[in-house]
Structure 1
Amino acid sequence: TLAFIDIFVEENKQEEDQQGETVWLFQEEGKSEPSMVADNGDEPDDDNNKLTLHVPETSHQISTDSWFQAGFVLTTGINSVFVLGYSGTIMVPLGWVGGVVGLLLATAISLYANMLVAKLHEFDGKRHIRYRELAGQIYGREAYYITWALQYVNLFMINIGYLILGGSALKAFYVLFNEEHTLKLPHFIAIEGVVCILFAISTPHLSSLRIWLGCSTVLSLIYIIVACVLATNDGLNAPPRDYTIHWTSTTSRIFSTIGASANLVFAFNTGMLPEIQATVRQPAVKNMLKALYFQFSVGVVPMYAVTFIGYWAYGSSTPTYLLNGASGPLWVKASANMSAFLQSVIALHIFASPAYEYLDTKFGITGSALELKNIAFRILARGSYLTISTLVSAMLPFLGDFESLTGALSTFPLTFILANHMFLVAKKNKLSSLQQSWHWLNVGFFALMSVAATVADEDEGVADIEITNSGLLRDVHALR
């Protein structure tokens, strides 16, 4: 709501960002007012003078982090608690050939698309610290707000996923010690939400995650190593597994495959690369490319390991939360589940940081993070945001459907369609006809995939709801 109110209340005035760079406003074509002047003194192309827009400075810290820290932020996202679900949500519907090839292709195309966005960070000589600003600079006013809406929907849905998985991990920890199961998943999602609120209040911005990124890495290694070891032990001691892909019809086969492809792109992409790149010190493009190389080389190894080992161990019966199917010592499983729960809190903060940055900047929150008024604001603003997210999370029981829906509605458009088309428009005078055709092919292909994945997810969601409703009816009859 605040985002759309901001459209009408902001005035067109000149601002300076934290680095002292001048931010001139876009002006309508044909107007006599000055157009945006790039930091290097060059005038932007006439095609870019499309927007009358005030771009506020940020209240958060920027341009201070090394590429290594940015790489750890990206790796934290890719090896978050979501990796414990990929064996069930990617490998089960695709099988060995489709799953392995799909993951390798998704890695390559995701790296390529993110590199395109990273190279546009200083388009027209100015650092674009928000995805929507980059889109607005290239396309104009409408794209600014459309990108804003798409990105925030994407990040909101990812945060919901972390709340669901964090709650699931905490519930798995609980049932190890309590056989009565008096508490249900929504209760644990609520606990996850409270812990996330406390963490958000104590961690003012993305750059302040420094020590927490190290903690996140340790926590990730704990649950990934435990999951791999327990699954390997189960696989070695189990009879031959069934790796058959089970479909009820040809239509089900098509929809399951398309839905799994949306899960593939969901696994590798953040939807907030410019915001992460904003924290990186100069040269921002070069350093961000280093961070991306780190993410898509060293960073993907743990994810590959747990995904493939989990599917090898349990086959087509692999659960959507891998630790639920693993057998082993109680304390080992408990430590893995608790690590997954705690890591989800840190990872959620990364994907919620653009919303926090908007709120802090909108209301002019500056000064020490320990000032009473700043603490009170974080309690109110971030607490409200996460409370709403937690309530929504408690009503979304189907994790696989959630992942594919996020990939279809936001990851495909933000990471692949928009990245290729922005690069095409921004570099149109420098691209050969073959290069332009390549980018247009990507735009068309991923647009079709986005539509197909959305339709497929709706079909799978309806099927899951029908199954759940039939189960509820059986429970009611049993009670009678």
Structure 2
Amino acid sequence: MINTGYIILAGSALKATYVLFRDDGLLKLPYCIAIGGFVCAMFAICIPHLSALGIWLGFSTVFSLAYIVISFVLSLKDGLQSPPRDYEIPGDGVSKIFTIIGASANLVFAFNTGMLPEIQATIRQPVVKNMMKALYFQFTVGVLPLYLVAFTGYWAYGSSTEVYLLNSVNGPVWVKASANITAFLQSVIALHIFASPMYEFLDTKYGIKGSALNAKNLSFRVVVRGGYLAFNTFVAAFLPFLGDFMSLTGAISTFPLTFILANHMYLKAKKDKLNSSQKLWHRFNIGFFAIMSLAATISAIRLISVDSKTYHVFADL
């Protein structure tokens, strides 16, 4: 699901770039998603191993910083110049509840970015020490730009903020185009990093070794990685609702893996060393986040259903 979201994000960034120069409606979002999926597939085929990313990790950092700086500056400028905004949650009582629950899943989805430095850190030794350093950095210093963009964007545009923030900002065309391009390229790299553990597992399982240009190895990557991303691209174009997929991903993956599984594993590993209050605390976390995961899943499915009826499949949002 998270990779479907990245492909939607890549397509949204590509369309936003096109609209800046030609707003004629010819290049629709599903076409942009297809282009984004193709680029992701080509990148996955050309980068055989996670360790082969090399300089692309440096580019990834530059792309992220460029997007953060541009989004923050343009949002801040708009916020200072805009009239009073509406911060009310749209919809009626029930709709608001589902929106809030979906937003909580979106929030935890954003923390999936902690996987990027975590996975990257495993490239060199000592793996565990580097991984822990990366996680500590991500969830302290790393969350600051995330919240900076999120809160500034909402402050600047209120409840009318677009799911893809750069569709809301105003500024020089070349600046917005640069931010959109960095978002597109970062989506391609980030998707590959998230998908790499699966790629590596399949390579190991089916004995893919030796030269990356070996005919067998190359054809395997084309079929397996290309097929996987083709399916994700189809789903992304079929239901191109970025915010909804973020909610669904947060509900069915981040809540269980980050909160439920972690507390359960800690409880099992340390059960003889924990007192009753500590055990109760971890059990409470397991129960609470299980309920949140279920509620957020229902909310996300409802949002996808509502948007599907509103916009139709293969919508040009």
The one-letter code of the counterpart of 2:57 is L
Q: Does residue 1:386 correspond to 2:229, yes or no?
A: yes
Aligned to 2:75: 231
TM-superposed deviation, 1:379: 1.9
Q: How does 1:40-439 map to 2 (within 5 A)?
A: 157-249=1-93, 251-269=94-112, 276=119, 279=122, 283-439=126-282
The one-letter code of the counterpart of 2:84 is P
Aligned to 1:468: 311
2: distance between equivalents of 1:246 and 1:159? 28
The answer to whether the 8 A contact 2:121-2:130 is kept is no
The one-letter code of the counterpart of 1:161 is G
2: distance between equivalents of 1:417 and 1:347? 25
TM-score (norm 1): 0.62
The answer to whether the 8 A contact 1:195-1:345 is kept is yes
Which residues of structure 2 form unaligned runs of 5+?
A: none
2: distance between equivalents of 1:270 and 1:426? 26
The answer to whether the 8 A contact 2:8-2:241 is kept is no
TM-superposed deviation, 1:303: 1.0
Which residues of structure 1 form unaligned runs of 5+?
A: 1-156, 473-480
1: distance between equivalents of 2:142 and 2:121? 21
Question: How many percent of aligned residue pairs carry the same amino acid?
Answer: 67
**RMSD of Structure 2 on Structure 1 (CA):** 2.2
1: distance between equivalents of 2:281 and 2:86? 40
2: distance between equivalents of 1:247 and 1:183? 31
The answer to whether the 8 A contact 1:258-1:453 is kept is yes
TM-superposed deviation, 1:318: 0.7
CA offsets, 1:319-361, max 9 Å, x none? 1111111111111111111111111100000111122112211
TM-superposed deviation, 1:277: 8.3
- Please identify the structure whose Cα radius of gyration is greater: 1
CA offsets, 1:169-211, max 9 Å, x none? 0011111111212121111111111111111112112222231
The one-letter code of the counterpart of 1:245 is I
The answer to whether the 8 A contact 1:408-1:453 is kept is yes
CA offsets, 1:261-288, max 9 Å, x none? 1111111026969x83892555544332
2: distance between equivalents of 1:271 and 1:426? 23
The one-letter code of the counterpart of 1:426 is A
- CA spacing shift, 1:180–1:197, aligned 2, 3 Å: same
Q: How does 1:428-467 map to 2 (within 5 A)?
A: 428-467=271-310
The one-letter code of the counterpart of 2:41 is I
Q: Secondary structure at the match of 1:394?
A: helix
The answer to whether the 8 A contact 2:71-2:165 is kept is yes
The answer to whether the 8 A contact 1:162-1:348 is kept is yes
Q: Secondary structure at the match of 1:326?
A: coil
- CA spacing shift, 1:332–1:282, aligned 2, 3 Å: closer
The answer to whether the 8 A contact 2:114-2:138 is kept is no
TM-superposed deviation, 1:311: 1.0
1: distance between equivalents of 2:69 and 2:188? 19
TM-superposed deviation, 1:294: 0.8
1: distance between equivalents of 2:213 and 2:275? 53
Whose helix proportion is higher, 1 or 2? 2
1: distance between equivalents of 2:174 and 2:151? 24
The one-letter code of the counterpart of 1:386 is L
TM-superposed deviation, 1:460: 2.7
Q: Secondary structure at the match of 2:21?
A: coil
Q: Secondary structure at the match of 1:319?
A: coil
Equivalenced residue count is 313
2: distance between equivalents of 1:325 and 1:168? 13
TM-score (norm 2): 0.92
The answer to whether the 8 A contact 2:153-2:165 is kept is yes
